Amino acid sequence: MSVISAPSEQPAMTLDIGMLGYRFMGKAHANALDRLPMFFPEAPAVNKDVLVGRDEDALADAADQFDFDRTATDWRAIVDEVDVFYNLGPNHVHAEPSIAALEAGTPTFCEKPLAPTLDTAEEMAEAAADADVPAGAAFNYRFVPAIQYAKGLIDDGVLGEIHHFRGQYLQDWLVDPEAPWSWRNDEEMAGSGALGDLGSHTVDLARFLLGDAAGEITDVSGHLRTFTEERPVEGSDETRPVTVDDAYSAQIVFDSGAMGTLEASRVANGHKNAHTIEIEGSKGAVKFDLERLNELQVLTEGDRGFQQVLVTDEDDPYVDHWWPPGHVIGWEHTFVHENYEFLSAVADGRQQEPSFADGLAAQRVLDAIEQSDDRGERVSL
């Protein structure tokens, strides 16, 4: 069962890649680009042309490690030179470079959340709509085979009328109050904390999985909490204030009347990367856990309990590109699938999903959750 796109036979071309950012996400996407020729030979060929950053020494080391041809310290100099622009920088640098690249007619891929604020996300989505080139938002969990499998079940009506959606994303890397301050703790740079960093993924999966079955999210009631108000600055005796949330929770309602709960925390002790999704309908249910990403728990009509489905067969989404049945894949492979889809869209001259419009839709939900917390009342989108 597969719901992935079916790109046409790719034309002979090599796409020059410009990439802004070379740390966590830069490494993930550079690795994905290296895997494509071996496992997805039908994908367009790419040339890792230019890596962009501010620290010249660190940038040179990263370019050597990731095998980029050259480096640049100013993205303005390269956005109209490359065939594809990847914006993998911190949230506060998503807007200006991405908009400039789109205005230059360069297909653009941007990390999530799309922007720190809803207003900025709207500007980015408007630029993407005007540009008429692929503009992809980086929601890589759409491309987990088990999530694609679940999407197929839901769209085929196997779960019946959808009643419930539950999404949790729990991590513990900020449990220690002495963990150092970073840009992710700053509202101006990040926009929000666990809400945008983790919650954006959950909101996107809710929209992706239930968009056809339950419609859009229409109402939210949210609560945000910061447990550690300031954190030490690494390498100094100073501290800086934490101006974003450590955790959030929300209740949501879909167009169809289906209800849901969302939750994320970066101070959930004992959890490393626990992104769980549960969906219940009138005829069945599915459960997914990112820490066991090759598995999907499935309950269909007439079953007495959940059955574990190992989503590694040849006819499962994307799996025919990898290993024999039962030989599992991992987190890094979601980026390979994501890059395959985006670069195929570039080669075919079609729009990418998830798009900047999808990023904006998720941002509207995040903003409504913040508004609900500020106002102490339910908010309609």
pLDDT tops 80 at residue 77? yes
Instruction: Determine whether 212 is exposed, middle or buried from the number of CB atoms within 10 Å of its CB (0-12, 13-18, 19+).
Output: exposed
Count CB neighbours of 334 within 10 A. 23
Relative to beta strand 259-265, strand 162-170 is: parallel
Q: Which residues pair with 230 in a beta bridge?
A: 241
CA dist 122 and 181 (Å) reads 29
- Return the closest-CA partner of residue 248 out of 369, 115, 379: 369
Confidence of residue 1 (pLDDT cuts 50, 70, 90): very low
Tens of pLDDT, residue by residue over 211-266, are 999 999 999 999 999 999 999 999 999 999 999 999 999 999 999 999 999 999 99
Distance, first Cα to last Cα, the chain: 34
Token digits for 180?
A: 């150092």
pLDDT tops 90 at residue 71? yes
- Return the closest-CA partner of residue 250 out of 364, 373, 358: 373
pLDDT mean over 166-171: 98
**Whether the Cβ atoms of residue 369 and residue 199 lie closer than 8 Å to each other:** yes
Give me the pLDDT at residue 3, please.
53
pLDDT mean over 79-100: 98
pLDDT mean over 101-120: 98
Give me the pLDDT at residue 195, please.
98
Average pLDDT, the chain: 96
CA dist 297 and 203 (Å) reads 20
The full set of domains in the chain, from first to last, is 14-140 (3.40.50.720), 143-328+355-380 (3.30.360.10)
Token digits for 245?
A: 């949330």
pLDDT tops 50 at residue 192? yes
Token digits for 365?
A: 């939900």
Helical segments of 158-232, H only: 187-190, 194, 200-214
The helix or strand, by DSSP H or E, that contains position 17, with its residue range, turns out to be strand 14-20
Tens of pLDDT, residue by residue over 337-377, are 999 999 999 999 999 899 999 999 999 999 999 999 999 99
Helix (H, G, I), strand (E, B) or coil at 210: helix
pLDDT mean over 201-209: 98
Instruction: Determine whether 300 is exposed, middle or buried from the number of CB atoms within 10 Å of its CB (0-12, 13-18, 19+).
Output: middle
- Return the closest-CA partner of residue 284 out of 234, 213, 344: 213
pLDDT tops 80 at residue 2? no
Instruction: Determine whether 81 is exposed, middle or buried from the number of CB atoms within 10 Å of its CB (0-12, 13-18, 19+).
Output: middle
Give me the pLDDT at residue 13, please.
78
Answering whether pTM is above 0.75, one says yes
Give me the pLDDT at residue 241, please.
98
256-293 CB burial, b ≥16 within 10 A, e <16: eebbbebbbbbbbeebeebbbbbbbbeebbbbbbbeeb
Tens of pLDDT, residue by residue over 4-61, are 555 545 445 799 999 999 999 999 999 999 999 999 999 999 999 999 999 999 999 9
Cβ neighbours of residue 302 closer than 8 Å, sequence gap 6 or more: none
**Whether the Cβ atoms of residue 38 and residue 336 lie closer than 8 Å to each other:** no
The helix or strand, by DSSP H or E, that contains position 109, with its residue range, turns out to be strand 108-111
Q: Over pLDDT 90: what percentage of the chain? A: 96
CA dist 144 and 307 (Å) reads 19
Give the sign of the dihedral formed by CA 169, CA 174, CA 176, CA 177. negative
Confidence of residue 157 (pLDDT cuts 50, 70, 90): very high
